[in-house]
Amino acid sequence: MSGSSAFQDDSGTSGGSDELAERLRALRSLTPKSLKELERVTLVSDSSWSRYLAGRGLPPWAAIEALCREAGEDPAELRPLWEAARDRSNRATGEAAAVPDVPDPADAAAPSGRPRRRRLALALASVGVLATAAAGIAAAVHGDERPAAGRVPPAASTPAGAPPAAVTAAPTPPSVPGALRAEAAVPETYRGVIELAARRCTEAEVTPSLLAAMLKAESDFHADLRDPKADEYGIARWTPSVFNAWAVDGDGDGLKDYMDPADAIATMGLFTCWLDQRIKQSGLHSNLPGLIAAAYRTSDKAVIQAGGPPSGTEEHVTAVLRYQKEFAAG
């Protein structure tokens, strides 16, 4: 899987998407928005919408919900059709969720003697390989959000002291596992993008409460965090070169900036979805939230080789799981 949807390849082979695409085109005709305007409200690129409307690829469900809201229609009518298309896609790939077979950089020791952190290790890999990985996971989670070449700005694109752009999303119902409690100590400014980032992933473990817990443990929600020694920045502690390979425009402003909380969180959601799939593909299925948190701090390879959280990550994993329990509804 590299650059094309698991649902239908670029040769035009149908994966059963014609009926869904026809319904999506009808919905789009009910809205006054251009594809570029739809990109801003659905957080799916205009080029991805062009493919989805042509029947090439399966949109994320959250994007269909957003399109239905713009058209004033009930998305519930499309859910069975979307699920059937997703199931056909999964059968076509022979897996419950398509996972890109991307080689992971070696977990070499850093000069200090400590294991390389996941972002630093990946930064040493070819950006082209990582861009392909990002394309593959975007298709696997049914939301092809690949960064366009040259569009990722430096951190300086976020003016000092500027307030982060708010991204709004309907809260996940409390009855859904992993939803955020209304009174959870998660800044309101970030709740919308956390909700959307979690919904983009079809893996059950990637929930709003898990992403919020990871952000709490990584940065305590400090959007202006800068750690030059580790080369990690922003609310999700991204290494710039790695962020650039996976970057998602989380607030629809046309920029992808690791110091912008919306972009950093949306990209974290994409990456954690890939980590979840890689870990499960290896045969590990116990304590997946903890394994995802450990892999985010180190690498998927380190977790798989250790058969659990690698040495040195236990305290971090414990903190993430504690925060997740505090933040989750029910």
Number of C-beta neighbours around residue 103 at 10 A: 10
Q: Residue 309: which pLDDT band, with cuts at 50, 70 and 90? A: very high
Q: Which domains does the chain have, with CATH numbers?
A: 18-93 (1.10.260.40), 118-327 (1.10.530)
Residues of the chain with pLDDT > 70, as a percent, come to: 68
**What is the Cα–Cα distance from 257 to 260, expressed in whole angstroms?**
5
Is pLDDT above 60 for 29?
yes
**What is the Cα–Cα distance from 259 to 234, expressed in whole angstroms?**
5
Task: List the one residue out of 153, 102, 69 whose CA is nearest residue 277.
Answer: 102
Top mean pLDDT of 100-114, 127-141, 245-259 is at 245-259
Residue 115's beta-bridge partner residues? 109
Q: Burial code of 285-323, b = ≥16 C-beta within 10 A, e = fewer? A: eeebbbbbbbbbbbbbbbbbebebbbeebeebbebbbeb
pLDDT greater at residue 90 or residue 106: 90
pLDDT greater at residue 8 or residue 69: 69
Q: Residue 58: which pLDDT band, with cuts at 50, 70 and 90? A: confident
Q: What is the CA radius of gyration of the chain?
A: 19
Query: Residue 229's pLDDT is what?
Result: 93
Query: Residue 92's pLDDT is what?
Result: 58
**What is the Cα–Cα distance from 245 to 249, expressed in whole angstroms?**
12
End-to-end CA, the chain: 37
**DSSP letter at 84?**
H
Top mean pLDDT of 18-27, 69-78, 135-144, 255-264 is at 255-264
Q: Residue 184: which pLDDT band, with cuts at 50, 70 and 90? A: very high
Query: Residue 134's pLDDT is what?
Result: 41
Is pLDDT above 60 for 20?
yes
Residue matched to tokens 């709740």: 191
Is pLDDT above 90 for 123?
no
